[in-house]
Amino acid sequence: MKSLALLLVGGWLAGSLIMFFVATQNFRTVDRLLASPTTQAAPALAALPHDNMRMLLRHLSSELNRLYFFTWDLVQIAVGLAVVALLVLLRRKAETILAGIMLSIVAIQLLFITPRITAIGRALDFVPRNPLPPSAAPMMAEFWRLHGAFTGSDLVIAALGLVLAWKLRDSVI
């Protein structure tokens, strides 16, 4: 059971790394595609002015990221519950507390941060950025505060996950 707990924690950490990569690459791909479109994509991309096409494609990337992050939050809840259950069965109190803290942070993300980022992000998707209308500035500031909170809490989850994996590794070997 210790090996299974360690495997789940490793999957949790790997999933987080994959999400960091996917989220950043979705937006970078928009600019790469617009800067150097494939022969097949060029006619479709020319259908709208560049700035409008960029805004539309960034909206698509945002929607994909919203789906991925919501789904990842749900997966983390399931994995976290499994890890906590295994650690309770193994009577590993310190490790159970670590996994419980990780799970609690994910629950906060899922219930409070992710829904608010999603709502604000959708409201801002088609707002011009240069210059940003003064009426949108408070929403943009809140979006970036929430984004920072989400990223920071993800880093805390990853750090705790590394500590948890280290503690479990010692008991498996």
The whole-number pLDDT of residue 129 equals: 86
Query: pLDDT category, 18, cuts 50, 70, 90?
Result: very high
pTM of the predicted structure, to 2 decimals? 0.91
Alpha carbons within 13 A on the beta-carbon side of 108: 15
The whole-number pLDDT of residue 84 equals: 98
Query: pLDDT category, 130, cuts 50, 70, 90?
Result: confident
Enumerate long-range contacts of 2-8, CB under 8 Å, 24 or more apart.
2/90, 2/168, 2/171, 2/172, 3/172, 4/86, 5/83, 5/86, 5/87, 5/90, 5/95, 5/168, 6/165, 6/168, 6/169, 6/172, 8/79, 8/82, 8/83, 8/86
Between 169 and 170, the more confident residue is 169
Domain that holds residue 118: 2-172
Nearest to 127 by CA among 116, 135, 115: 135
Between 172 and 152, the more confident residue is 152
Total count of domains within the chain: 1
Average pLDDT rounded to a whole number, residues 44-50: 93
CA pair distance 11, 80, nearest whole angstrom: 11
Average pLDDT rounded to a whole number, residues 129-154: 96
The radius of gyration computed from the CA coordinates of the chain, to the nearest angstrom, equals 20
Residue 40: pLDDT above 90?
A: yes
CA pair distance 127, 138, nearest whole angstrom: 13
H helices of the chain, in order, are: 2-35, 42-45, 50-89, 93-108, 114-124, 137-172
The single-letter DSSP state of residue 92 is -
What pLDDT digit, counting tens, does each position of 56-107 carry? 999 999 999 999 999 999 999 999 999 999 999 999 999 999 999 999 999 9
H helices of 125-136, in order, are: none
Residue 172: pLDDT above 60?
A: no
The single-letter DSSP state of residue 132 is P
